[in-house]
Each structure stands twice: as C-alpha cells, then as structure tokens.
Structure 1
Amino acid sequence: MAKSRFRSTTEHTMDSKGRLNFPSRFREVLNQYDSEILMVAPWGKNHLRAFPLPEWEILEDRLMTEGREKPDLANFIRYVVGGVAECSLDKQGRVQLPVQLRTKVSLAKNIMLVGMIRHVEIWDKEIWQQDNEATSENFDSFNEQLSQMGIF
C-alpha cells in the first residue's frame, strides 16, 4: 500500500517555548513511517524542512553517494546536515523547534506549515505570504516544465 503524503497548508501559532502543533493529518502520514521522529533542518534563510526519519535517511544516503561527485555540495551538506535537529512529537502532537533553528529562519509566533509530499515546510507566516505572492505572480513560468512532465 502506498504511503499517504504531506499535503495542504495550515496556519498555526507557536508558543513561547517553540512548540508547534503538528496537524493530525500530518501525524497520520508520519505514523505510516512507524516513527514519531521528525528531522528538522534549515533550508536556506526562509524556512525549515521537517522530514520523517526514513525520508531524511534517504536524503542522507543520496548525499553520501551522489553528493560525493559534486564538491560544490560540501557547504550545503555542512549547512543542512550540520544544522539538523531530531525532534519528537509530544503527547499533544506538538513538535518543539530548537531556538537556533527558529532564529535562523526568523520564525515568530504565526507559522505556516506547508505539506510538500515527502516533507513539511515550516515558514514564518509573513515570509511565506511574500514568497507565495511572488509565486502566484510568476505562475506561468512553470508551464514549460509542467508540460515536459505531461502535467500541463
């Protein structure tokens, strides 16, 4: 049976301790991985990515094999793999984001969780709105790639 995927966007409020509710539909996907562990990594300056542990291990394996052939990826690996944090869900279904990760991507109180099929992006709401608006304005730029994939 195929695994469910992380889909849709939801707004949440992070408390003063950095705890964030992980939506029940996302917890259901996570449960299919037989793990309550999320590997949360910085992904540039705008957001974090949260991977179920098995998906994170696939990413690491690819970096160890294919990444060796690309010396320019050393800084990426240092930034992402060096900055990753193992986070578990608590009994209330919340994940606590370490302060160094919250600070790195300017997470404040209002957070957007974005399902991205195999991982979840964690954005500050204001930064996400700006990025999402820019994507909306340039939406036609995706037509050629989507067409090549047979989607459009």
Structure 2
Amino acid sequence: MSHFLGEFECKLDAKGRMMIPTGLKRQLPEAEAEGLVINRGFEKHLVIYTRKEWNLIIEDLAKLNQYEKRTREFIRYFTRGATELSLDASGRILLPKALLEYAGIGNDVVLACQLNKIEVWDQKAYDAQMDSEPENFANLAEEVMGGLGRRNDG
C-alpha cells in the first residue's frame, strides 16, 4: 500500500487540466502505466487513488451485503462520478468538469496527501478547513489515537 506525503498547490488551466507536481509525481511511479482514479470525497473535495488502491476499495465494497438498502445507497454515492485519469504527454491530468463543479473547485487547487489517497481541494475551501483546527489538537489526538498504545510522537 502506498502512503503519500506532502501538500501541493497547483493551478488548473481553462480545460481543467492540472500538472502533477514533481514531488508528487515521484511518489506515483505506477501512475503512467496503471492510471489513477478520482471520485468524490466525503466533504466537498475530490479524492485521487492509484488504480491499485482503488481496486482494493472496490474489493471491500463487493464484500458488502447489497441486499441491504443502506449498503446499496452508500456504494452508489461513494462510486458516483468515479473516473479514470491518465497522464498526458506533458504530465497533466484532466479533471472531470462534473466533479470539479461538485467540489466547487476553481483554478487554484491544493493536493493534500492523506495516507493512501490524495485529496483535491479548492484552495479557499482547503484554507477554511485547515483554519478550523480544533482548539485543543492534543485532546483530539488522544480521543482518536489514544487506544492504539503506540509510541509517543508529540
């Protein structure tokens, strides 16, 4: 499983194409051969997965009980708009217009690496999201990570 690192500011051209930053492209060696998949995030943003990671997610979804209505709804909404991406000869990807509209993404974009995926945010929306950092981040860390019994990283 790939874990990505970094935060990258990018620009979209008039056609919705974006150059993959060099620092991120180095982390995606299989992207040119296998491609990428983009879909809607849980908040108003988009998410890019490697094809390998997307296939693992689809395998997990296929294990769910599709006789249950909530499961079918989740699968429909989760996969809605999922689109294959490929790098063009110039190292750009074309982001689907419908997904850009869904996420309210303009020309200024942030690619935020989140473990096995890359979140795609409109710059202003991302800044607003990050400006709402919890008042006591240490309490949030304890609540979310406290039961893992891991080493102290703080």
Q: TM-score, normalised by structure 1?
A: 0.86
User: 2:42: which partner in 1?
Assistant: 44
Q: Distance in 1 between matches of 2:64 and 2:6?
A: 31
Match of 2:141 in 1: 142
Q: Give distance in 2, aligned partners of 1:36 and 1:48.
A: 20
Structure 1 pair 137/36, CA: closer, same or farther in 2 (3 Å)?
farther
Q: Which residue of 1 aligns with 2:120?
A: 122
Unaligned regions of 5+ residues in structure 1, if any? none
**Aligned equivalents of 1:27 and 1:36: distance in 2?**
14
Q: Does 1:16 align with 2:18?
A: no
Instruction: After TM superposition, give the deviation of residue 9 of structure 1 in Å.
Output: 0.7
**Higher mean Cα deviation, 60-69 or 25-34?**
25-34
Query: Aligned residues: percent identity?
Result: 25
What SS does the aligned partner of 2:104 have?
Answer: coil
Long gaps (5+) in structure 2: none
Q: Which has the larger radius of gyration?
A: 2
1:108 partner amino acid? G
Q: What are the Cα deviations for residues 62-111 of structure 1, in whole angstroms up to 9, with x where unaligned?
A: 01103648642322211231310111011222111010010010000110
* Distance (Å, rounded) in 1 between the aligned partners of 2:77 and 2:107: 24
Which structure dedicates a bigger proportion of its chain to helix?
A: 1
TM-align CA RMSD: 2.2
What number of residue pairs does the alignment pair up? 150
**Residue in 2 aligned with 1:84?**
82
TM normalised by structure 2 equals 0.85
Cα deviation digits, residues 6-62 of structure 1 (max 9, x gap): 111111111111011212232222214673511000113510000000100000000
> What is the identity, as a one-letter code, of the residue corresponding to 1:144?
E
Given that residues 8 and 111 in structure 2 are in contact (C-alpha distance below 8 angstroms), is that contact kept between their aligned partners in structure 1? yes
